[in-house]
Amino acid sequence: MLSQNIEKALNDQVRIEAQSSQIYLSMASWAEIKGLSGVSKFMYAQSDEERTHMLKLVKFINERGGHAQVSELKAPKTSYSTFKEVFEELYTHEVFVSNAINELVHISISEKDYATHNFLQWYVAEQIEEEAQAKHILDKINLIGDDKGGLYLFDKDIEQLISKGSASTL
């Protein structure tokens, strides 16, 4: 059985994961209209992944005797100056999500809720991968600089990786 404090904290994370899905969906839409099909596909996949993370939390809360809440979301940003800005915001957002997960782990330990602590370890590992991937992509973008040919190749590379289902190897 979840304590009220942990149930609230988990529901806050449900909102964060839902918001993440919306943010990445908005990024995908922006990239699509800019002709960046690879970036767009990558962001659509990221959006789907975040929704899956949200649903996993919803199921856990309900299975542990709580009530998962679906809350209102803030409209995400819809326009970006450059594709680099998109990935800088992706990285910043992933760091934010990692901090939120770490706070959840802290709460679960302080309340001696070891079932929740165990459940959250998947999210801890996932966030390590998400941050590393975003940082790796930013490093590639910084290598490209303002080279349009480099952008074209980057967009094609990221699209091929999504097709293979392994964006983390970019």
Which residue numbers belong to the known binding site?
17, 50, 53, 94, 127
Q: Which residues are annotated as a binding site for Fe cation?
A: 17, 50, 53, 94, 127
- What's the CA gap between 162 and 142, in Å, rounded? 21
- What's the CA gap between 62 and 2, in Å, rounded? 10
CB 30 within 8 A of CB 81: no
Residue 165 token pair: 């289902």
- What's the CA gap between 113 and 119, in Å, rounded? 10
Among positive and negative, which fits the CA dihedral 158, 160, 162, 164?
negative
- What's the CA gap between 41 and 29, in Å, rounded? 9
Residue 31 token pair: 């990239």
CB 2 within 8 A of CB 64: yes
Residue 61 token pair: 């809360």
